């Protein structure tokens, strides 16, 4: 719990030294600490109470077990700070981000496309960028979709969205996690069966741990994030849900054009000042690092993390979860108390990332599938 909280807050270097500065820098630029506090205030009052009760339990155990806490933390030279409700959101964000949110790949591809277009026109450039359909890993294959001729033809007739040009090669076969549901008409019990097999690499700390939470209106069991009472995959008395990787991102990169002096950026032809803040990163056995963070109306600037920088451009991470002060934890908590498909779908309205195929089954003999993406 302490590790994932520090990862989300960008505070690993103060315990483990300078080698963790890059990780801390990313978390500070992303602004997860301020986000977690604001997102907490946007949660329904009942969920704020739940997270407050969870944090109170963590702190009560810490106070009642000082020797166990000391064994874990004295070798690191730190003591755990009290757990807060906002820390539940921070811990979940640190784990569910599944790596760095910052990538300059889209910018590099954009630059390459512009170079090719300048040489031979956009039509010729598009021929060198191909859209790869990874049908082997699809939860519903193209052949299966073709069984409904009318729906299949409607999909095939849709024009490809401009700008969504990907390169790659087809996969050798299914990869990542498996999840499926079978209707009651095909089971011996007459009730649906649901299987969810998340395949993640071994890590310390682990991505998820299994728990059963029975408190107030909640009686659910499954896989959750250390430091947060919400379930990512699980079941309660009425429904079950599982997940497999979708392979889509939950962020967009904006390329802002700078003014000639580089002190502002252009929006609809007019100069707008950057939003500025300073982040101070403490480093064990090293000097403090001051990181200036710039922001635009679209998100935070991450040129300092990019290898594709060009003069006059700012690379901006557009992260809806942060900008909207929403949190996937709201969906996870709502899953645990949902009793039917309608309530589950309503909970999904608050899900952000990572991109997933979600499978569903309930005790009313319903099964379903949802796909999440930006």
- Which CATH number fits the domain that encloses residue 309? 2.30.120.10
pTM of the model: 0.85
Q: What's the first-to-final CA gap in the chain, in angstroms?
A: 28
Give the count of domains, the chain: 3
pLDDT at 141 (0 to 100): 73
Contact residues for 91 (Cβ-Cβ < 8 A; gap 6+): 1, 4, 5, 8, 225, 226, 227, 228
Residues 16 and 82 occupy one common structural domain: yes
Mean pLDDT over 291-313 rounds to 94
Mean pLDDT over 109-136 rounds to 78
- Encode pLDDT of 325-372 as tens digits: 999 999 999 999 999 999 999 999 999 988 888 999 999 999 999 988
Please tell me whether residue 338 adopts helix, strand or coil conformation: coil
For residue 126, tell me if it sits in a domain.
yes
Query: Using the 8-state DSSP alphabet, how is residue 184 labeled?
Result: G
Residues 85 and 21 occupy one common structural domain: yes
Residues of the chain with pLDDT > 70: what percent?
Answer: 91
- Which CATH number fits the domain that encloses residue 39? 1.10.439.10
pLDDT at 173 (0 to 100): 47
The dihedrals phi and psi of 202, each to the nearest 5 degrees, come to: -65, 140
Residues 196 and 130 occupy one common structural domain: no
């Amino acid at each position: 719990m302490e590790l994932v909280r520090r990862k989300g807050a960008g505070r690993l270097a103060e315990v483990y030294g300078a080698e963790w500065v890059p990780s801390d820098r990313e978390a500070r630029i992303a602004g997860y600490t301020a986000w977690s506090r604001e997102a907490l205030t946007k949660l329904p009052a009942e969920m704020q109470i739940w997270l407050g009760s969870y944090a109170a339990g963590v702190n009560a155990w810490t106070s009642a077990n000082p020797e166990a806490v000391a064994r874990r933390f004295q070798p690191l030279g730190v003591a755990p700070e009290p757990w807060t409700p906002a820390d539940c959101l921070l811990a979940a964000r640190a784990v569910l981000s599944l790596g760095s949110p910052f990538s300059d790949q889209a910018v590099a591809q954009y630059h390459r496309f512009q170079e090719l277009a300048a040489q031979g026109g956009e039509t010729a450039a598009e021929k060198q960028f191909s859209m790869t359909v990874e049908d082997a890993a699809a939860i519903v294959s193209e052949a299966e979709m073709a069984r409904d001729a009318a729906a299949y033809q409607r999909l095939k007739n849709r024009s490809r969205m401009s700008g969504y040009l990907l390169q790659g090669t087809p996969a050798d076969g299914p990869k990542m996690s498996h999840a499926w549901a079978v209707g009651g008409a095909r089971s011996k019990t007459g009730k649906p069966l649901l299987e969810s097999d998340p395949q993640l690499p071994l890590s310390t700390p682990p991505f998820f741990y299994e728990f059963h939470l029975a408190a107030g209106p909640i009686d659910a069991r499954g896989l959750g994030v250390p430091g947060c009472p919400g379930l990512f995959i699980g079941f309660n008395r009425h429904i079950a849900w599982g997940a497999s990787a979708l392979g889509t991102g939950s962020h967009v990169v904006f390329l802002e054009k700078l003014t000639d002096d580089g002190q502002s950026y252009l929006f609809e032809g007019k100069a707008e000042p950057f939003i500025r803040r300073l982040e101070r990163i403490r480093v064990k056995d090293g000097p403090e690092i001051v990181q200036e963070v710039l922001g635009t109306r679209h998100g935070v600037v991450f040129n300092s993390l990019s290898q594709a920088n060009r003069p006059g451009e700012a690379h901006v991470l557009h992260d809806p979860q942060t900008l909207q002060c929403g949190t996937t934890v709201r969906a996870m908590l709502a899953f645990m108390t949902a009793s039917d498909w309608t309530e589950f779908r309503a909970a999904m309205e608050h899900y952000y990332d990572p991109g997933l195929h979600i499978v569903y089954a309930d005790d009313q003999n319903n099964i379903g599938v949802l796909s999440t993406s930006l």
